[in-house]
Amino acid sequence: MDSTSAKPSQTLFAPVRTKRAFEEVCNEIKRLIFRGVLKPGDKLPSEIDLATQFSVSRQTVREALRLLEITGFISMQKGGTGGPLIVDTILNTIGNSYLDAFQMKKITIDELTTARVEIEKMILKAVFRDSQDIDVQCLEENVAQAKSLVERKTDAFRENIHFHLLLAMASKNYVFVIVMESILTVVADIRSRLGFDLDVSVEAVRDHEKIVEAIKGKDHQGALSILERHLVENGKLLREFLKRYEGEEESSSSRVGVFPLRVV
């Protein structure tokens, strides 16, 4: 592996450009976001302007923007006043990667449920330690809102999912929020394919209400056992549904068969 000729020194000099151009452009923009120079809501220059400013081609800029888009830093807006817009949807990105990972690693519903039970119980303990009144108020508001929805025979599944995220937020530890958001993305993906089911929503709201009351009453064991039963029941529901569902479709990932495909 030692070069006796052409390549002079592999140790003295490092290659001038190790990364690809679009990666450098991507990192430059990322740095400005991390520094706070660019904040969510700000607009980036158009592709053409970026290309001239970075002195690269438009294709290179586009690939850089593609990276930023998929990693949750920007979103593209079409039309006259459009352009790349700074956003912050990194949590969505992580959630989507979880969906991919669950498919690739063939994780089962039961595995997900078991982990979810343990993780949410852990978070609930943290809530008992570190939450403040305002956090419990948020939970109460969520329950009230979901309650009014089901009373009007409307689906409250978004609100019910959100309850668990609010629980994580009440722990005052954002790491828990990230973990919870990721798991909820998977749960929501399965649940959304289940369709509208009022009974499920009603049951969930009732459980959530009990949990909030137990938290307010500082009833640790009560809250924990209600939460555990709630999650286990929910897991059974998802499993039963998937048993009926499997075979019909080959799982998620938007299906669009418009292109003639022949790979390798």
Complex with its own copies: residue 59 or 192, whichever CB lies closer: 59
CA distances from 244 to 144, 191, 238, 247 (A): 33, 13, 10, 8
Instruction: Name the residue with tokens 């978004």.
Output: 158
Q: Give the integer Cα–Cα distance in Å for 3 and 187.
A: 55
* Number of residues in contact with DNA under rule CB under 7 A: 28
Q: Give the integer Cα–Cα distance in Å for 208 and 164.
A: 9
Residue by residue, what is the 3-state secondary structure of 73-122?
CEEEECCCCCEEEECCCHHHHHHHHHHHHHHHCCCCHHHHHHHHHHHHHH
Complex with its own copies: residue 71 or 145, whichever CB lies closer: 71
Complex with its own copies: residue 48 or 198, whichever CB lies closer: 48
**Distance of closest approach, residue 68 Cβ to its own copies, in angstroms:** 10
Region 69-98 residues binding DNA, contact defined as CB under 7 A: 76-84
Site for DNA contains 254 (CB under 7 A): no
Complex with DNA: residue 80 or 195, whichever CB lies closer: 80
**Distance of closest approach, residue 152 Cβ to its own copies, in angstroms:** 24
Q: Could you say which of DNA, its own copies, none residue 207 binds, taking C-beta under 5 to 8 angstroms by partner kind? A: none
Contact yes or no for 68/30 (Cβ under 8 A) = yes
Q: Could you say which of its own copies, DNA, none residue 235 binds, taking C-beta under 5 to 8 angstroms by partner kind? A: none
